[in-house]
A = this chain, B = another copy of it.
Amino acid sequence: MPTSRSSTRSRDRGASRPTRADARQNVDALLEAAKAVFAEAGVNAPVRSVAERAGVGVGTLYRHFPLRSDLISAVFRREMDACADAATEIEAAFPPGEALDRWIMRFTQFVATKRGLAAALHSGDPAYEPLAEYFSTRLAPTLERLLVAATRADAITQDVEATELLGAVANLCHGGGPDPRSAEHAERMVRLLLAGLRAPQLT
Are A188 and B176 neighbours in the complex by a CB distance under 8 Å?
no
**A12–chain B nearest beta-carbon distance, Å:** 45
Residue A148 is within 8 A (CB to CB) of chain B in the complex: no
Are B189 and A168 neighbours in the complex by a CB distance under 8 Å?
yes
Are B175 and A172 neighbours in the complex by a CB distance under 8 Å?
no
Are A188 and B175 neighbours in the complex by a CB distance under 8 Å?
no
Instruction: Render A154-188 as a binary contact track against B, CB cut-off 8 A, 1 for contact.
Output: 00001010001101100110111100000001001
Residue A122 is within 8 A (CB to CB) of chain B in the complex: yes
Q: How many copies does the complex hold?
A: 2
- Report the bound CA distance from A123 to B124 in whole Å: 13
Residue A90 is within 8 A (CB to CB) of chain B in the complex: no
In the complex, which residues of chain B have a beta carbon less than 8 angstroms from the beta carbon of A197?
192
Nearest residue (CB) in B for A126 is B177
Are A158 and B192 neighbours in the complex by a CB distance under 8 Å?
yes
In the complex, which residues of chain B have a beta carbon less than 8 angstroms from the beta carbon of A193?
189, 192-193, 196
Are A189 and B164 neighbours in the complex by a CB distance under 8 Å?
yes
In the complex, which residues of chain B have a beta carbon less than 8 angstroms from the beta carbon of A122?
119, 174-176
Residue A53 is within 8 A (CB to CB) of chain B in the complex: no
Known: A101-B203, A119-B119, A189-B193. 13 other contacts (CB 8 A): A115-B124, A119-B123, A122-B174, A124-B176, A160-B192, A168-B189, A171-B171, A171-B172, A193-B193, A194-B196, A195-B202, A195-B203, A196-B196
